[in-house]
Structure 1
Amino acid sequence: MNMRLFSTLSRSLTVRRQRPALVLPAIPTPRETKQLSDVDDQQDLGEELHPPFPGLEELVFNVPGSNAILHSPLLLIQVTRLQCGGFIFAIRFNHAMADGIGLAQFKIALAEIARGSSAPSVSPVWMRELLIAQDPPRITSSVRHEIDFLPSIIRAQLPPEEDFVRKSFFFGKSEISALRASLPLYLRNKCSDFVVLTACLWRCRIFALQPDPDEEVSVYYTVNARSRFHPPLPIGYYGNALAISGEQTTAGELMKNPYYYAAELVMKSTVRIKEKRFESATDKLSPLGKLPKISLESAYMVSDLTRLGFDEVDFGWGKPVYAGPAAEPIPGISTFHISANNKHGEKGIVVPMSLPGFVMERLSEELKKVVSNSKP
């Protein structure tokens, strides 16, 4: 799986201070206000700088032969200078090399060196042998069906990508507080922002897709497993150390029950995580036979990137305007929670989504209705 991620910063990558120069425009500047991208035209929960980005293929050039997992470049970096004086720092990396935490460590290290450090504050650790499966693999009873999800994504039954419409939804403090306030008291203070948003979007997504009520639907999310092994993985480990957790129900149960039913399911899966499951997951991901296909309706996967620190990376000229994925790795199934500020400076969470056009319209309407009904 190749992923693309970029940051928009406020100056050039090379830290070099010079006397300011006045550059006259070639033609008179139009007397109107232009937003940085047309993403600001969407009338959803927010109107901010976030995916989908127009001209993405120009900002992260698709080098021939770089799409595959094998026999493909592990890392591609492209820096695009903007006429306004800023730049876009784009990374395309092979997910077999590192996870989001490893990529964040790499960007932080690169930024430290750009600012003059002779070495990164956290030295990289490449001890991949720590996660080699046992021989023979041993699966404990605590390993659930959700671990089958990761290898099954290559067999997903999805519509053609050109049929998808991409939108992002911004959830500020008021939206998250309203959703939390709609939960029963016994859940209100136990659920994290991640649980609140994941439950809301999973349920709204099912309403928009309108699958058969008897169809099994699942929500999955990635969990950082670095501290959950014996002994814990060393600080600075760059490789993949993620586990997949999740919960399952039927579409009918999810739609007929209140929103807090979904929140309960998501919260249970976060509480249920045990150390031995992560150790077993390494074995489970070894080839053990055929895996089931997944569909657009049956699977929804979320990764929480709000605490990785992408938005704090400073190459010497300040923090980025936006830092996070440029697109979803599995359109239609996967998404991210990304830290972002809106145009008023309010900090919140952006969630990009890809769905067929008519489904996206229903999702947008359902989200508006749920958030509006939750507000006092």
Structure 2
Amino acid sequence: MTSSPLLFTVRRFQPEMVRPAASTPREVKLLSDIDDQQGLRFNIPLIFVFHREPSMAGKDPVEVLRNALSQTLVYYYPFAGRIIEGVGRKLMVDCTGEGVKFVGAEADVTLDQFGDSLHPPFPCFQELLYDVPGSELIIDRPIRLIQVTRLNCGGFIVTISWNHTNGDGAGVKQFMNAWAEIARGAHQPSTKPIWHRELLMARDPPRITCNHREYEQILPSNTINEEDITTIVHHSFFFKPSDIARLRVLVPFHFSQCTTFDLITACFWYCRTKALQLEPEEEVRMMVIANARSRFRAKHSSFIGYYGNCFAYPAAVTTAGKLCGNSLGYALELIRKSKDEVTEEYLQSVADFMVINERCLFTTVNSCIISDLTRAKLREVNFGWGEGVYGGVAKGGAGPFPGATYIVPHKNAKGEECLMLPICLSTEVMKRFAEELDEILRSQNYPTTSVPSFVKSTL
């Protein structure tokens, strides 16, 4: 029997524009040709949850974070500007200093009342992130939208609408750390932010030197069910170390030392494809976000403090029949090969591809994208109230594309560490996905009869 969903009321204060605490340059800054591709032109909701901290008694998190944000924007002043679009759909930031939209709020709920629900999908999330008409747009809008909500227990929740054209996961962590350091009393961030978007601009003339199957334009099949579009639901799946061990024995020996990220990615791709019930000859794609900062051999030090997007998502491509007719090792091999393609030249070729192909969207037909947020360690952001209870994405999906997901470290209410996979699918496909994952984790190839420990959010 499922429990009733948690319901609570949030009272928002008057929204305000938080501007840099000191004078900042009035200029126009170009985004890179990796930043402004169509696939990144959306806002991604992030959420950070904090317990009550006795040593901070008497301090209002809304006030502390608002003041620290104003000081942080002196260093990250482009965030206080507005995105504009120029010739050839080129995006740039007009550093107007107008500020970030900030909303303080209070909710009649405690963290204990959330129980084990402090993960995507969050109860009443629409109350925790201020929404304004047109908030899904990015042109000539505040680049950041932030809400800080006090809870009855003394804890608080920070939600952010993060404009993806301005930075990736590493950029999120860098900005959040800077904001948190200043909230704790620092006079400036320990890592100096640098713009340097020229590092990832197209060459003159641009030239495509690599194969980019992630941008192939494919028409959808005629088998798309209207229900698959209109009944999208969100659920999170959790993997404990014992679940990873179960998966690891299902792949060939030479993959026994593969990363946990690759292992879960292969499992996700396999289960999702089976759940979609595609025709065997239909192509399927898994695009893995690969941080390219370390791939720039000569320029690696140039990216210290760089908070723009610096990644590619090469596509592992096969047919539904081949993927579902082989073991997890087959998917794993394709995923590892695609990640190895990302070099400095590959990213440069992506930048050139964007200019030549009008900053086109990635392939969405039978595709999914996955990003590893374990290294970002967003839960460790500390505004003075200690490490967060949760830090990361607020839901699966990315902007208008539901096929995106993330692997996020998570600690449940019992204090157990696990990895979380928040996804969104139609109701029926989600049920089939859960069944496929359950079947894999119960595989007879693994010598155990215990019940899988992954946790599915309530349907």
TM-score with structure 2 setting the length: 0.70
Identify the residue that residue 196 of structure 1 maps to in structure 2. Answer: 263
The correspondence for 1:354, drawn from 415, 419, 424, is 424
Identify the residue that residue 286 of structure 2 maps to in structure 1. Answer: 219
Question: Offset at 1:162?
Answer: 4.5
In structure 1, C-alpha distance between the alignment counterparts of 2:362 and 2:347, rounded to whole Å: 23
Question: Offset at 1:375?
Answer: 4.1
Q: Which runs of 5+ in 2 are unaligned?
A: 1-41, 60-111, 448-459
Question: Offset at 1:69?
Answer: 2.4
Q: Cα gap change, 1:358/1:185 in structure 2, threshold over 3 Å: closer, same or farther? A: same
Once the two structures are superposed, residues 50-70 of structure 1 have per-residue CA deviations (whole angstroms, 9 ceiling, x without a partner) of: 100121111001122321121
| Structure 1 residue 265 corresponds to structure 2 residue 306 | no
In structure 2, C-alpha distance between the alignment counterparts of 1:281 and 1:352, rounded to whole Å: 28
| Structure 1 residue 65 corresponds to structure 2 residue 106 | no
| Structure 1 residue 172 corresponds to structure 2 residue 240 | yes
| Structure 1 residue 288 corresponds to structure 2 residue 357 | yes
Identify the residue that residue 143 of structure 2 maps to in structure 1. Answer: 74
In structure 2, C-alpha distance between the alignment counterparts of 1:158 and 1:279, rounded to whole Å: 38
Q: Cα gap change, 1:182/1:134 in structure 2, threshold over 3 Å: closer, same or farther? A: same
Q: How high is the sequence identity, in percent, across the aligned residues?
A: 42
Identify the residue that residue 69 of structure 2 maps to in structure 1. Answer: none
Question: Offset at 1:16?
Answer: 4.1
Question: Offset at 1:363?
Answer: 0.3
1:1-376 correspondence runs (5 A): 1-11=42-52, 16-18=56-58, 35-36=113-114, 40=116, 49-140=118-209, 142-148=210-216, 162-189=230-257, 191-229=258-296, 230-232=298-300, 233-288=302-357, 294-295=363-364, 298-327=366-395, 328-330=397-399, 331-373=401-443, 375-376=446-447
Count of aligned pairs: 345
In structure 2, C-alpha distance between the alignment counterparts of 1:15 and 1:133, rounded to whole Å: 51
| One-letter identity of the residue aligned with 2:47 | F
- 8 Å CA contact 1:148, 1:291 repeated in 2: no
Q: Which runs of 5+ in 1 are unaligned?
A: 20-33, 41-47
| One-letter identity of the residue aligned with 1:365 | E
Give 3-state SS (helix, strand or coil) of 1:285's partner: helix
- 8 Å CA contact 1:158, 1:295 repeated in 2: no
| One-letter identity of the residue aligned with 1:243 | A
- 8 Å CA contact 1:15, 1:115 repeated in 2: no
Give 3-state SS (helix, strand or coil) of 2:159's partner: strand
| One-letter identity of the residue aligned with 1:185 | F
| One-letter identity of the residue aligned with 2:439 | K
- 8 Å CA contact 1:302, 1:337 repeated in 2: yes
Question: Offset at 1:125?
Answer: 0.5
When structure 1 is superposed on structure 2, of 316-325 and 283-292 the one drifting more is: 283-292
Calculate the aligned-residue CA RMSD, in Å: 2.6
- 8 Å CA contact 1:147, 1:245 repeated in 2: no
- 8 Å CA contact 1:147, 1:281 repeated in 2: no
Identify the residue that residue 29 of structure 1 maps to in structure 2. Answer: none
Once the two structures are superposed, residues 316-341 of structure 1 have per-residue CA deviations (whole angstroms, 9 ceiling, x without a partner) of: 11111111010231453100111101
In structure 1, C-alpha distance between the alignment counterparts of 2:216 and 2:141, rounded to whole Å: 25
- 8 Å CA contact 2:290, 2:342 repeated in 1: no
In structure 2, C-alpha distance between the alignment counterparts of 1:176 and 1:352, rounded to whole Å: 17
- 8 Å CA contact 1:158, 1:332 repeated in 2: no
Once the two structures are superposed, residues 79-122 of structure 1 have per-residue CA deviations (whole angstroms, 9 ceiling, x without a partner) of: 00111111001111211111111111000011111111111110
| One-letter identity of the residue aligned with 2:232 | F
- 8 Å CA contact 2:46, 2:161 repeated in 1: yes
In structure 1, C-alpha distance between the alignment counterparts of 2:240 and 2:176, rounded to whole Å: 26
- 8 Å CA contact 1:147, 1:284 repeated in 2: no
Give 3-state SS (helix, strand or coil) of 2:182's partner: helix
Question: Offset at 1:175?
Answer: 0.5
In structure 1, C-alpha distance between the alignment counterparts of 2:233 and 2:271, rounded to whole Å: 16
In structure 2, C-alpha distance between the alignment counterparts of 1:249 and 1:358, rounded to whole Å: 24
Question: Offset at 1:249?
Answer: 0.2
- 8 Å CA contact 2:197, 2:308 repeated in 1: yes
In structure 2, C-alpha distance between the alignment counterparts of 1:294 and 1:134, rounded to whole Å: 24
The structure with higher relative contact order (CA 8 Å, sep 6+) is 1
TM-score with structure 1 setting the length: 0.85
Question: Offset at 1:195?
Answer: 0.6
In structure 2, C-alpha distance between the alignment counterparts of 1:202 and 1:305, rounded to whole Å: 18
Give 3-state SS (helix, strand or coil) of 1:96's partner: helix
When structure 1 is superposed on structure 2, of 95-104 and 329-338 the one drifting more is: 329-338
| One-letter identity of the residue aligned with 1:196 | L
Identify the residue that residue 43 of structure 1 maps to in structure 2. Answer: none
In structure 2, C-alpha distance between the alignment counterparts of 1:158 and 1:275, rounded to whole Å: 40
In structure 2, C-alpha distance between the alignment counterparts of 1:305 and 1:252, rounded to whole Å: 30
Give 3-state SS (helix, strand or coil) of 1:200's partner: helix
